[in-house]
Amino acid sequence: MPYVKPVETAKRINFLASSKVQAFSYQVSDEGVSADEKGRKIVKAGTILPANDATAQGILYTDVDVTEGPQPGSLIVEAYILEARLPEAASAEAKTALTKITFR
């Protein structure tokens, strides 16, 4: 008897307002990340890192699974962003720190 499992599809919301993006590699921490219903620790695309405050360095480009510990990811440092589509709205301090990101 063959083993069959359901097909899962990923849903990714586009938060970019333009194709002009500058991103660099970044080590995504697993600290403070809660596990989902499947036991995986996923940092969502659009998350402001390292925190949504004056220490902000950029916005995570894609989802990163940090279940097994810190993992490399891609951090956007220059772009046009649709703020309403981010998982969490950018704070005033983060907007000030992210000088090359334009929020729309």
pLDDT in tens, 43-61: 999 999 999 999 999 999 9
User: In which band, very low, low, confident or very high, does the pLDDT at 1 lie, cut at 50, 70 and 90?
Assistant: low
Residue 14 in any domain: the answer is no
CATH no. for residue 86?
A: 2.40.300
Does residue 41 contact residue 66 with C-beta atoms inside 8 Å? yes
User: In which band, very low, low, confident or very high, does the pLDDT at 10 lie, cut at 50, 70 and 90?
Assistant: confident
Domain span holding position 33: 19-97
Give the burial string for 22-36 (b: 16+ CB within 10 Å, else e): ebeebebeeeebeee
pTM of the model: 0.89
* Cα atoms in the Cβ-side hemisphere of radius 13 Å centred on 77: 8
Q: How many domains does the chain have?
A: 1
Residue 87 in any domain: the answer is yes
- What mean pLDDT is predicted for residues 25-49? 96
Which element (helix H / strand E) includes 27? strand 16-28
Residue 33 in any domain: the answer is yes
Residue 81 in any domain: the answer is yes
Angle, CA of 4, 9 and 11, to the nearest 5°: 165
